[in-house]
Chain A
Amino acid sequence: MDSDRVRKLEARCIEEQPPACVATCPLHVDMRAILEKVKKGDFSGAFALYARMVPFPGIVGHICDHPCEATCRRQEAGGAIRIAAVERALVEESYATLRRTAQRLSKPKRVAIVGAGLAGLTAAFDLAMKGHRITVLEADAHPLERLHHDYDEAVLPRSVIAAELGALQTLGVEIRVRSRIAGGGGPLGLDTLIDDFDAVLLALGPGVARNFAPTVRLTDNGRIDIDPNSRATSHPKVFGGGFHGALGEVYSPIGSIHDGRRAAASIDRFLQGASLTAKRDDDGGEASCLYVNTAAQQAVSPVEPVDAAAGYTLEEAKAEAARCFPCHCQECVKACVFLAHYKTYPKRAVREIHNNLSIIMGNRKANRMIDSCSLCGLCETVCPTDLAMGDVCLEARREMVDSGHMPASHHDFALRDMEDSRSARAAFARHEPGHARSARVFFPGCQLTASAPGHVERVYAHLRDRLEGGVGLMVDCCGAPAHWSGRTALHTEVVDHLRQTWEEMGEPEIVTACATCLTMLRKHLGEAPVRSLWPLLAEIGWPEDADARAAGRTLAIHDPCTGRHEREVHVAVRDLAARLGASVREISSAELTTCCGFGGLVSFANPEVANATIDARAAERPEDYLTYCAMCRDNFARRGKRSAHLLDLAFPPEDGSDPAARPDPGFSGRRDNRARLKIRLLRNLWGEDMNDPELVWTVRIPDEVRADMERKLILVDEVTAVIADAETTGRKLKDRKTGLFIATLRTGPVTTWVEYENTETGALVHKAYGHRMNVEAKS
């Protein structure tokens, strides 16, 4: 993942884009953060944020023309936040806490500012804060003359203006009134200022300025020709500001302040000999591209102050601030347990993943995070810019595998399970008995065979019964675990083997029962025609003897995440359930379904995230769940959510037990089911006998111990092998107090330990555990 690609991916995530209020404000005052603090009653914290961006908080807090309110997204749900009114309450409460200290420069520059309006004084403030010596020259009798004319005492108390001017003087700004600057030389001439000062700002306000020619170039209408972005004039030491430059502009206090700030930034660059134009981001207000789902918000009306003239009380300001959502995108985080668990969002996660991959020495702290994404595609579906975290995580996993940095323990068990499902113990392919070729081949997948092998037999019989041309059977794994774990070479090996088998079968149409197999085979088997079992079943109908006991049952349907976009399948499954008489409720739309925790092998790399994912889904509806993915069903069952596979409804247990109460078979049970299915099918349909698995030792495992082994990913076969080895070789310990034996064996990449006792009916297992580290006595 090179840094260019990382930047592109990061740019796709808009979560860090400024919200509308911040983007629209010419000064980009962080109102979202300020309202968050006001909401909590932290007025001094809020005011500190406000005063960091606003040069004259007392004045602006009273008269800001608040362009932010026009773009506030709350207006789509009850009315825009009354930001200006909250600001007023804030500055009236906290203005007295304002403390400012200017930088100290060893060689301060001298800057003359002509005009003591908001633009000129903002420039004076900004440059004074940077440590320069500022002299303001004002033609009128008072600085900020306009504010005295334009605003009533009730709106803008004169004491506020006086306080702001006092603060400015405290910073060392000298204001000379009745000092009208003329053109040319002379004591108050522009040329003299240019000679006496390091830079000059003409913050003039509207009107012609012909007397400043030819020192600075004028426009055709007699105004100083000012570059709109840098505020430079034709004279390198002279800058222009105020509303002088434009015609017909509507007066805006915040616009004037922004104008002065931009001129000050240019003067500071000029004084440092820096470029006036490079990397500027102070163009003023702009539109926000942050996506906000306002439709999900309840409408709430603005708070009306009890005393309109006095404005909000602090409590009213808090209540109004509490109406701020605040604006965030986070559509994926709201939908994804994994992102929420890591308290992250794609932009940040992409950076963390990139950093993790780039570590040469030190700990790779994001390894488990990368392996905790289910690759389910929900984030991409809900993202306004279609950013797919699954693609990013998968790419990262491949890089980790290729560079030898993938932690072995994360996927090792799942890959060994895949190996089992592909081995001669479980996998095989045959044409239909009595047929030399197959028009179609049924591909039940490794999990339906493991979860409900009887269903595979029933469905296969039904397909043979209804379909012409021969229906072969291909019991194998689609390679999803290899793909999900980033093992590219292993995945290629699986796909090559599948293609070879498919070609040997005469290139039939492949019918998959599993949504993951459907996606994987379609994507990686290229030329092979692959279709889902469910639309085919909807075409040919259920068998005559399909059970009718589902009639009247209401279930909530959970679609598998790997099939979220398979519209045809969604329709077929609902139709098939209805034909069994079941009534089906939606949990979410099929497109917005979540993972069951198995996707991306999360349940192996991070059981906590996998369990939280399935529990969140299970809690969405009280009804029993209906699934058509064996893994989803078993994961719901494992977490205590009653759920039935669609085939459980059609072919319920013969003993009459409740199909929605079928337990998760567990990992050992899954392997056993696959192996026994193969033996049974080969014997019953093709008359072939396999050697039954050799039973070397009778081992009994109580339910609690078995459940504990499931959590620790220890198989019955492994425990049996440990005991068989101990009993054959005598290599074991004995606990003199309890009489228990303790034995161990390296089984694959794991050392398994078993504590057991020998009884008349075989070994009774008390405990099993394992570790990956190798230990041996020092010889």
Chain B
Amino acid sequence: MSAPVPPKDEVPDTDDLICARCDVPLTMGKVLASYMGQTFPVELPVCPSCGFVYVSEELAAGRMLKVEQALEDK
């Protein structure tokens, strides 16, 4: 099998995301983020029907990573 080549990567736009199972677009909703016993309320794109929460790579590798590391060093 020849080596697969990925298409040029695009950062998904939240407005374009739909929940495949519920077939509805994501909307901003209240989410609880928790790590090491601490919980924070945040607003993230969520499926209004099944509650599937979307975390973008930008968020995971940026703000979320910073908070994780800060909590680990407490």
Asked if A pairs with B, the answer is yes
Chain A interface (Cβ < 8 Å from any Cβ of B):
362-365, 367, 407-410, 700-705, 729-738, 740-742, 744, 751, 753, 755, 761, 764-767, 769-779
Instruction: Give the nearest-CB partner of B41 in chain A.
Output: A778
Q: Provide the residues of chain A in CB contact with B13, threshold 8 Å.
A: 735, 737
Instruction: Give the nearest-CB partner of A410 in chain B.
Output: B72
A741 touches B68 (CB 8 A): no
A733 touches B31 (CB 8 A): no
Q: Provide the residues of chain A in CB contact with B9, threshold 8 Å.
A: 766-767
A407 touches B3 (CB 8 A): no
B16: which of A705, A735, A766 is its contact (CB, 8 Å)?
A735
Q: Provide the residues of chain B in CB contact with A705, threshold 8 Å.
A: 6
Tell me, rounded to whole Å, the shortest Cβ–Cβ distance linking B26 to chain A: 7
Q: A703–B35 Cα gap in the complex (Å)?
A: 32
A737: which of B16, B26, B64, B69 is its contact (CB, 8 Å)?
B16
Of the candidates B6, B57, B70, the one having the most CB atoms from chain A within 10 angstroms of its own CB is B6
Contact with A along B33-72 (1 / 0, CB 8 A): 1111000011010110011111101001100110111101
Q: A703–B6 Cα gap in the complex (Å)?
A: 9
Q: Provide the residues of chain A in CB contact with B47, threshold 8 Å.
A: 733
A777 touches B29 (CB 8 A): yes
Tell me, rounded to whole Å, the shortest Cβ–Cβ distance linking B44 to chain A: 7
A764 touches B4 (CB 8 A): yes
A-B CB contact pairs (8 Å), 6 listed:
A408-B36, A731-B50, A733-B26, A764-B4, A764-B6, A779-B51
Q: Provide the residues of chain A in CB contact with B12, threshold 8 Å.
A: 735, 737-738, 740, 742, 755
B32 touches A365 (CB 8 A): no
Q: Provide the residues of chain B in CB contact with A409, threshold 8 Å.
A: 68-69, 72
Q: Provide the residues of chain A in CB contact with B64, threshold 8 Å.
A: 771, 773
A776 touches B16 (CB 8 A): no
Q: A732–B33 Cα gap in the complex (Å)?
A: 20
Please name 17 further chain A to chain B contacts, defined as beta carbons within 8 Å, in addition to the given A702-B6, A777-B46, A777-B52, sorted by A numbering.
A700-B1, A704-B6, A730-B21, A731-B21, A732-B20, A733-B19, A736-B16, A736-B18, A737-B13, A738-B10, A740-B12, A767-B57, A769-B61, A774-B35, A775-B34, A778-B31, A778-B41
Of the candidates B1, B9, B34, the one having the most CB atoms from chain A within 10 angstroms of its own CB is B9
Tell me, rounded to whole Å, the shortest Cβ–Cβ distance linking A766 to chain B: 5
Q: Provide the residues of chain B in CB contact with A362, threshold 8 Å.
A: 74
Instruction: Give the nearest-CB partner of A769 in chain B.
Output: B57
Q: Provide the residues of chain B in CB contact with A766, threshold 8 Å.
A: 6-7, 9
Q: A744–B52 Cα gap in the complex (Å)?
A: 10
Q: A458–B55 Cα gap in the complex (Å)?
A: 48
With A733-B19, A733-B54 as known contacts, state yes or no: A775 contacts B6, CB within 8 Å: no
Q: A704–B68 Cα gap in the complex (Å)?
A: 27
Q: Provide the residues of chain A in CB contact with B35, threshold 8 Å.
A: 772-774
